[in-house]
């Protein structure tokens, strides 16, 4: 039994040492314009919409792992702040115009593919799709124009995309597919969830290159 235990511990120690990574040498990176133009189409249950926004890359965390076998693994973690203006039409309910500030967490992989997690916070103004009338204490009936409510608009989105910067596309930057869920408050049910699928394109506003703000990371295992 002791022999077997010693053998297991020896194998664990061997694989642990073999898996150690070498330190990463420092390097710099440049990319296309840090300003990005986003256009998306939203499609959900009985609703369709569109949104546009301008984003700025605020940081880029570069991680490279050098294996003892000679193989290298590199990851880019981008942080982007967006100012987004959007609109959707919900059949038999309302139309909604919203303005949000979004914060995206991007993790890039090989061949330009990446995943994107975004948090959303802002305000919205809903407009009831049908005619609304009001009645005062004297029984007078009036039509209420632009009937609707101001609401807080928050939410989350998650999805995958393809980045084209490495292929020298000076205009087209990303194409992506995401699942989006907007949360409106207050609502007659306390909160309203507005799930949708988002298909979109990102464009570089300028073709001139600027250095990204970045952080080099040394990894040891």
Q: Give pLDDT, residue 209.
A: 52
Alpha-carbon distance 204 to 206, whole Å? 5
- What does the angle CA 86 – CA 87 – CA 93 come to, to the nearest 5 degrees? 145
Question: From the CA atom positions of the chain, what is the Rg in Å?
Answer: 25
Q: Give pLDDT, residue 65.
A: 72
Q: What is the mean pLDDT of the chain?
A: 78
Is position 52 within any domain? Answer: yes
Whichever domain contains 62, its CATH number is: 2.40.160
Residues paired with 150 in a beta bridge: 125
Is position 93 within any domain? Answer: yes
Is position 187 within any domain? Answer: yes
Q: Give pLDDT, residue 207.
A: 57
pTM of the model: 0.74
Is position 14 within any domain? Answer: no
How many domains, the chain?
1
Is position 11 within any domain? Answer: no
Q: Give pLDDT, residue 42.
A: 95
Residue 15 has pLDDT above 60, yes or no: no
Is position 164 within any domain? Answer: yes
Collapsing DSSP to helix, strand or coil, 4 comes out as helix
Name the residue with higher pLDDT: 202 or 148.
Answer: 202
Q: Which residues, at least 6 apart from 206, have a Cβ–Cβ distance to it below 8 Å?
A: 32, 33, 35
Is position 140 within any domain? Answer: yes
Alpha-carbon distance 214 to 27, whole Å? 10
Strands (E), 28-71: 30-31, 35-44, 47-66
Residue 208 has pLDDT above 60, yes or no: no
- Domain region containing 31: 21-217
Alpha-carbon distance 17 to 166, whole Å? 35
Alpha-carbon distance 169 to 183, whole Å? 35
Alpha-carbon distance 158 to 121, whole Å? 15
The 10s digit of each residue's pLDDT in 144-179 is 777 788 999 999 999 999 988 766 666 888 999 999
Residue 31 has pLDDT above 60, yes or no: no
Position 2 confidence tier, pLDDT thresholds 50, 70, 90: low
**Cα separations in angstroms, 34 against 30, 208, 211:** 10, 10, 8
Structure tokens belonging to residue 121: 């916070």
Residues paired with 99 in a beta bridge: 85, 123
The 10s digit of each residue's pLDDT in 73-124 is 777 788 999 999 999 999 888 899 999 999 999 998 878 899 999 999 999 9
Q: Which residues, at least 6 apart from 194, have a Cβ–Cβ distance to it below 8 Å?
A: 44, 47, 88, 90, 96, 155, 181, 182, 183, 184
Is position 25 within any domain? Answer: yes
Burial class (CB in 10 A: 0-12, 13-18, 19+), 145: exposed
């Amino acid at each position: 039994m002791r022999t077997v235990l010693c053998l297991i511990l020896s194998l664990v120690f061997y694989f642990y040492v073999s898996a150690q990574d070498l330190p990463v040498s420092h390097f710099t990176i440049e990319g296309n314009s840090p300003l990005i133009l986003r256009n998306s189409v939203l499609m959900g249950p009985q609703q369709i919409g569109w949104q546009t926004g301008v984003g700025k890359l605020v940081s880029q965390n570069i991680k490279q792992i050098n294996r003892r076998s000679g193989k290298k693994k590199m990851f880019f973690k981008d942080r982007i702040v967006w100012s987004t203006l959007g609109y959707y039409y919900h059949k038999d309910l309302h139309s909604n115009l919203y303005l949000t500030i979004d914060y995206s967490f991007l993790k890039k992989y090989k061949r330009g593919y990446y995943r994107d997690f975004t948090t959303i916070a802002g305000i919205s103004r809903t407009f009831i799709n049908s005619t609304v009338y009001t009645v005062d204490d004297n029984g007078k009936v009036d039509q209420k124009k632009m009937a609707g409510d101001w609401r807080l608009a928050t939410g989350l989105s998650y999805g995958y995309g393809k980045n084209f910067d490495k292929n020298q596309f000076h205009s087209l930057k990303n194409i992506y597919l995401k699942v989006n869920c907007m949360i409106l408050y207050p609502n007659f049910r306390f909160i309203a969830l507005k799930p949708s699928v988002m298909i979109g394109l990102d464009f570089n506003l300028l073709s001139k290159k600027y250095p990204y703000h970045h952080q080099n990371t040394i990894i040891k295992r």
